[in-house]
Amino acid sequence: MAEPLGLGAEGIAAAVASGALAAVEVVNAALARAAEIEPRVSAFLRLDPDGARRRAEELDRRRQRGEPIGRLAGVPVALKDNLALEGDALTCGSRILAGYVSPFTATAVERLLSAGAIPIGRTNLDEFAMGSSCESSAAGPTRNPWDLGRVPGGSSGGSAAAVAAGCVPLALGSDTGGSVRQPAAFCGVVGLKPTYGRISRYGLVAFASSLDQIGPIAASCRDVALALESIAGADPRDSTAAALGPPDLLTGIEDGIAGRRVGVIAEIGTAGLEPDLLAVWHAALDRLAALGAEIVEVSVPSIAAAIDVYYVIANCEASANLARFDGVRYGRRASGARGLADVYFDSRSEGFGPEVKRRIMLGTFALSAGYYDAYYGRARALLEQLRAELARAFERVDLLATPTAPSGAFALGEKLDDPLAMYLSDVFTVPANLAGLPAIAVPAGLDRRGLPLSLQLLARPFDEGGLLRAARALEVATGWRLSPELRDASATV
């Protein structure tokens, strides 16, 4: 990543604060890099060069006047296009929201702006954040900067790709079942899903309200920590936001993990992983042990059902949340419809893509009379069992470790016609969402194709500090350097 973007968020903010760099200089570098990679990667749905430069110029003037400019001063950021920003289009990667402009700003985005960060554009995503490959967007797919013939993961694929390609040092995504961590894994960057309630969900377009969380994606654990410190905290506009102040995460982040107990779940089934991933998994555990952690096996029997529980609960909540996009209250209205029923049917048929329709239908079926207890009721019971088992596991250990995904980045189109295979991409990530736990994806090595592989760590609720210390220790020990090659699709093995 070329200077000044190679300084990372922490380095850029320090340089802008000292006057060594102008915010306009940094923003121009980010916009130039985005323009360079966009024809190939398609990380962004749209860029906002005028708005970004205007914010940067004002920040430079404030610094010159000696006014406070924030701890993310001048840092270019990318925003997933399901986060509201007043006066800006908001599409969620869907035709049904074409032409919609948000009248308000999400709390997390407000806090980024208050900290001096400068949004340069909106990133692509699976439609309404429903997907694991960033291929279901109405705008078309995003490509993985490491290999343009492969997916970047989803649903926050555009945000992860923008960081991996060196356009921005920091991006925001959302994570309902792994949508920050899995694309971070595929793109060789760090992605954090905080504890449920750590970050306000106000202004995040809802997919599954009991599972959704906003999370930062960056090239390093230190930048993720800085971002989380800047956007976390209580919010009276979101009743699910915890009544806690912003956490202090950078203090002690270099303290390592000597003496901490890391649990390996007996039931996660790593034996079936492809050889490259299995080798990186064992190497990561060995590295943690060499850093002074104690590796302990724990049992969480219900984790085998986590993926099934997730896809019942998430789809049921999606069915309810997306009912508002009907061509009357929200969303584009189909032309030529005769009568209210036709408005609903035609607007939703034209506006939603195949994956969103599939999930709405699955959720509606599971909630329907005669099936509610068999599907949703049973899923809720298994969810409570899983939460209790994870709580017992955390009585024995400080952290849990799993692979982040069951494979590296797969080829574009490889799983589009096999929804079950696509859903299984989330098999390791969904437990953290179901239990509301913080979890992080941190690069752990490369496969034989030179593509990144990742380790996931989970911690007790609101222990993002311990989580980041462990991830940072692994990051330093691995010696990870972000270096995607932007290989053409023809080079895909």
- pLDDT, one tens digit per residue, over 69-98 is 999 999 999 999 999 999 999 999 999 999
Q: Give this prediction's pTM.
A: 0.96
pLDDT of residue 488: 56
- Provide the 10 A C-beta neighbour count for residue 267: 14
pLDDT greater than 50 at residue 1 = no
Dihedral class, residue 66 (left if φ above 0, else alpha if ψ from -120 to 50, else beta): left
pLDDT (tens digit per residue) in 115-169:
999 999 999 999 999 999 999 999 999 999 999 999 999 999 999 999 999 999 9
pLDDT greater than 80 at residue 426 = yes
Q: What integer is the mean pLDDT of 179-202?
A: 98
Which spans in 291-437 are helix H?
A: 306-321, 340-351, 354-367, 378-396, 419-423, 430-435
Q: What integer is the mean pLDDT of 467-488?
A: 87
Residue from 42, 80, 159, 454 carrying the catalytic annotation: 80
Question: Do 143 and 40 contact (CB within 8 A), yes or no?
Answer: yes
Residue from 133, 136, 137, 155 carrying the catalytic annotation: 155
pLDDT (tens digit per residue) in 227-240:
999 999 999 999 99
Top-confidence residue, 333 or 161: 161
pLDDT greater than 50 at residue 100 = yes
pLDDT of residue 434: 98
User: How far apart are the C-alpha atoms of 106 and 369, rounded to whole Å?
Assistant: 36
Which spans in 188-334 are helix H?
A: 221-231, 275-290, 306-321
Top-confidence residue, 256 or 489: 256
Please say if 357 is a catalytic residue: no
pLDDT of residue 70: 97
pLDDT greater than 50 at residue 489 = no
Please say if 80 is a catalytic residue: yes
Q: How many CA atoms lie within 13 A of 289 on its CB side?
A: 10
**The two three-digit tokens of residue 230, written as one number:** 């800047």
pLDDT of residue 271: 77
Q: What integer is the mean pLDDT of 412-437?
A: 96
262: confidence class by pLDDT, cuts 50, 70, 90: very high
Please report, for residues 122, 124, 218, the alpha-carbon distance to residue 41 in angstroms, rounded to integers and kept in the order given: 14, 10, 17
Please say if 155 is a catalytic residue: yes
What is the domain class of 5-262+397-491 according to CATH? alpha beta
Question: Do 207 and 129 contact (CB within 8 A), yes or no?
Answer: yes
Residue from 42, 94, 136, 179 carrying the catalytic annotation: 179
- pLDDT mean across residues, the chain: 94
Top-confidence residue, 132 or 339: 132
pLDDT of residue 487: 65
pLDDT greater than 80 at residue 492 = no
**The two three-digit tokens of residue 249, written as one number:** 């995460």
